[in-house]
Amino acid sequence: MSDPVILTEQQGACGIITLNRPKALNALDTETILVFNQALDTLERESGVKTVVVRGAGGKAFCAGGDMKFIYELGKAGRHAEQLDFFRLEYQLNHRIARFPKPYVSLLEGIVMGGGAGISLHAPHRVAGENFLFAMPETAIGFIPDVGATYFLPRLPGKLGAYLAMTGARLGCGDGVAFGLATAFIPVAQHEALIAKLAAGEEAGAAIAILNAPAPEPELFKLKHFVDGCFGAPTVADVLEEIDEAGYGGLMFAMNTYDLIRTRSPLSVTIALKLAQMGQKLDLEEALRTEFRVVSHILRSADFYEGVRAVLVDKDHKPNWSYKDIEALKPADVEPYFAALPEGEADLTFAVEA
């Protein structure tokens, strides 16, 4: 008998949801999302639960994101409707978390990537442990930063959101706190102490503040001037030109960033930048609806299947992208990805709040 994908328990006034697929780095599939929603239903109804804590089992990951091999296999089998069902459920869960009526605390230890960000960063309390590792790595597999990234990335300081969306770069604990991805740093050894305080009925913000500790030294934060100077450019080609000029000045980080973007799907990078620019003016619902439409089209594109093949299936890390480089892609090439859904496909909707 397989282990449950979600564990739910109550300790005093604290309800705890544990993602329980440690061998899969707690990745999300359709079953996990459905059971997660059921857990939220239970804890929302339970009058004795004052605060909800969400964490990942195994220590290596809070959640490594959506199970993209699962999505890939559905697409290869021609099951497009089931692919969309997954993203519909996932984005509705992201929206629900952002509107959850009880304090929601994300305990972020280990990997927090892709879909893992969607079930944590929309929460008001985001507590990083020392091994916190964040990324939105989707452009490496011909996909886009989603789960509301179109909303939360542009609201990070400066142009960090565009940088993270395009490159898929990783941020450690120090930068996560410095840039506001995490609202507090509490060493893992103190996480049970936090749960004990919440179980005793202490208010979430106050309990976190008591245990909040100085975060490790940030690294990328020191290069914020470079990120802001390059990633505010209007097009990917312009961003690359700005980075190239910085590289000529001897900044090794610039040269590495330039090379990194060149390895990503040109189509995905271009769409990611456009979403980051659009997202500054969108609310969360609008951002999720936009992502849903884009994803519907991307799931029909060659780049997604080639990217997943190269990174997650064959693991040769040699994708043959539809466009050989950014220069081969015209601005008009991305417009169809922002079009309305094809006839017969329902748009993303959200539960009406009482």
pLDDT for 66-89, tens place per residue? 999 999 999 999 999 999 999 999
Q: Does the pLDDT at position 353 exceed 60?
A: no
Q: How many residues does the chain have?
A: 354
pLDDT reported for residue 340: 94
pTM for the model stands at 0.96
Report residue 246: phi and psi, to 5°.
-65, -35
Q: Which of 29, 90, 109, 146 is an active site residue? A: 146
**216-260 confidence digits (pLDDT tens):** 999 999 899 999 999 999 999 999 999 999 887 778 999 999 999
- Token pair of 186, please? 């509490």
Q: Is 146 an active-site residue? A: yes
Question: Alpha helices, DSSP H only, in 133-190?
Answer: 149-152, 160-167, 173-178
Please name each of the domains of the chain with its CATH number.
6-338 (3.90.226.10)
Tell me the CB-side half-sphere exposure of residue 209, using CA atoms within 13 A: 5
**By CB neighbour count within 10 A (0-12 exposed, 13-18 middle, 19+ buried), where does 285 fall?**
middle
- Residues above pLDDT 70, as percent of the chain: 99
Do residues 44 and 100 make contact, with C-beta atoms less than 8 angstroms apart? yes
Residues 6+ positions from 266 with CB-CB distance below 8 Å: 236, 321, 322, 323, 324, 325, 326, 328, 329
Residues 6+ positions from 79 with CB-CB distance below 8 Å: none
Q: Is 15 an active-site residue? A: no
Strand 6-11 and strand 184-185: the pairing is unpaired
pLDDT band at 354 (very low <50, low <70, confident <90, very high): very low
Q: Does the pLDDT at position 1 exceed 70?
A: no
pLDDT band at 352 (very low <50, low <70, confident <90, very high): low
**278-316 confidence digits (pLDDT tens):** 999 999 999 999 999 999 999 999 999 999 999 999 999
Whose structure tokens read 């869960």?
93
Q: Does the pLDDT at position 136 exceed 50?
A: yes
Q: Which of 138, 202, 242, 306 is an active site residue? A: 138
pLDDT reported for residue 46: 98
pLDDT reported for residue 351: 84
Question: Average pLDDT of the chain?
Answer: 96
Q: Which of 56, 66, 116, 148 is an active site residue? A: 66
Q: Which of 110, 115, 174, 176 is an active site residue? A: 115
